Chains A and B, each alone.
Chain A
Amino acid sequence: MSSASELRYLASHEWGRIDEEGILTVGISEHAQDLLGDIVFVELPDIGKELDAEEESAIVESVKAASDVYAPLSGEVIEINEKLLDEPEIVNSSPLEDGWFFKIKLNDSAAFESLMTEEEYNASCED
């Protein structure tokens, strides 16, 4: 089993962190915020929305470009980080902690293990 604080990743630069209740917190990686540059807008999913794995679920817009944020796994959105709507720069300053985007109640919490480990993700960024 993975530890509670472990981050898993998608190759499209999202991270997920699971808790004991099978709730996945989702954000974008340090590398992604660095690539995007200053983030100016964040669009979040509606609470209650059912997301499929790798479905477009949020949008992050920086001075350079707009990017989709994908749901790492399927589940229902149960919380969103509304603070990002007014202070999107938090994603730049704290991408892995305060800059989380939304939380989903996973349909299958075991699927977490199928996501990339940090090592795998870092290797994919170098390709």
Chain B
Amino acid sequence: MVDFHGWSMPINYGSQISEHVCVRENCGIFDVSHMTILDFKGKDAEEFVRKLISNDVRKLNELYEGLYSAMLNDDGGVIDDLIAYKLENGYRLVVNCATRGEDLKWIATKARNYSVEMEERDDLSMVAIQGPNSSEVLSNCPAPIVRALESKKKQQGVYGNDMFATKTGYTGEAGFEVILPHDLAVGLWRNAIKAGAKPIGLGARDTLRLEAGMNLYGFEMDDSISPFECNMTWTVDFTDEDRNFFGKEALLRMEKESKQYELVGLMLEERAILRQGQKVYFDEEKNMEGTVTSGTYSPTLKKPIALARVPKIAAKSCYAEMRGKEVFAKIGSPRFIKEGKEIFKERI
């Protein structure tokens, strides 16, 4: 068990690799109650949320549907990444627990001129059920909400009997996330385990998201990194010209300048794992350098992979210096696995 920002959480329940494989091949269950759940209500809730985050919640056609987004500071740096869900009378933002303090401070400052109430839902737990057999596992849980969820598409959700369930996740597999009162969470957990789900710790949560090419705050991005440099350009919506979200002006300035860095995937054929902060180079003179943001051994590919922020120079490979040796990596798309299959595209 480790202290994860005030939450006592398991790195693994036995073996990180077997937990990882279990989610790719079968079904795993994660206690992600450390995530911070913020509900926004009031007359200006929509107006405020549209200002607060880089993606536009007007795109949410359905109730309980989710939208991945960044929350930016005035310089266009990422304060946090989050999922915004549409509620009956407002919006629910699920943000990171590591950034909770900064988020709440930022939101409190910015909400002053709006008629909006924010409630932190620490009365709720959050459980993720992920993997190719997640549907089967959930259908064996005696919760009527499950049937309603079956017909939904990715990112969509349902609400009933105090359970808020959505087809979202952090693994690259089919699956669900369920937000519910603590006592119901215990019941759901037990039923899912009975139905064949295995508990998954923080370690496998990290390697699963890395294989899926999903960002982790403090690694791929922080408040000095713009969405353009961390593969989050798609979460910035400029469509509505009248929507002046925080950070927009800074991003528009950056758009005019040439974007200098981008997030890429690295794949290694050598027995070395590139870890966060490791420098990578593209030529012998080391004229330019990039930085590894996350790296691990991919249990699915059985080789090392990494995400790195590198100069936009279309290089096909790079190298790192580790223990006095040069270690080479192929550069490609910042995603490796989707639904159990390799999707890494090497640059050619």
* Residue ranges of A at the interface with B (Cβ–Cβ < 8 Å): 37-38, 40-41, 43, 59, 61, 63-66, 89, 92
Contacts and interface: CB of A to CB of B under 8 A. Distances in A.
Nearest to B17: A38
A41 B11 CA distance: 20
B323 A38 contact: no
A61 B272 contact: yes
Interface string B284-311: 0000000000001100000000000000
A116 B273 CA distance: 32
Interface residues of B, number: 14
Given A37-B16, A40-B297, A63 B271 contact: no
A10 B296 CA distance: 28
B235 interface: no
Given A63-B203, A64-B203, A40 B273 contact: yes
A63 B272 contact: no
Contacts, number: 35
B271 A43 contact: yes
Interface string B52-67: 0000000000000000
Interface string B266-285: 00000111010000000000
Interface string B191-228: 00000000000010001000000000000000000000
A41 B16 contact: no
A37 B297 contact: no
Contacts of A38: 15-17
B247 to A, nearest CB: 34
B272 A37 contact: no
Judged by DSSP, the binding face of B is loop
Interface of B: 11-12, 15-17, 203, 207, 271-273, 275, 296-297, 323
Contacts of A41: 271-273, 297
B276 to A, nearest CB: 11
A61 B273 CA distance: 8
Given A63-B17, A63-B203, A64-B203, A37 B12 contact: yes
27 contacts: A37-B11, A37-B12, A37-B15, A37-B16, A37-B203, A38-B15, A38-B16, A40-B273, A40-B297, A41-B271, A41-B272, A41-B273, A41-B297, A43-B271, A59-B323, A61-B271, A61-B272, A61-B273, A61-B297, A63-B16, A63-B17, A63-B297, A64-B203, A65-B275, A66-B272, A66-B273, A66-B275
Contacts of B16: 37-38, 63
A89 B16 CA distance: 12
A66 B271 CA distance: 11
Contacts of A40: 17, 273, 297
B133 to A, nearest CB: 23
A63 B323 CA distance: 18
A37 B17 CA distance: 9
Which 10 pairs across A and B sit closest by C-beta, in order of nearness? Answer: A40-B297, A41-B271, A38-B17, A38-B16, A63-B16, A37-B16, A61-B273, A38-B15, A63-B297, A63-B203
A85 to B, nearest CB: 8
Contact of B296 (A59, A63, A89, A92): A63
Contacts of B273: 40-41, 61, 66
A64 B273 CA distance: 10
Contacts of A59: 323
Chain A CB count within 10 A is highest, among B12, B207, B297, B323, for: B297
A49 to B, nearest CB: 15
A89 B323 CA distance: 23
Contacts of B12: 37
B267 to A, nearest CB: 15
Contacts of B275: 65-66
Given A40-B297, A41-B271, 7 more contacts: A37-B12, A40-B273, A43-B271, A63-B16, A63-B17, A63-B296, A89-B17
A38 B207 CA distance: 12
Contacts of B323: 59
Contacts of B11: 37, 64
A58 to B, nearest CB: 12
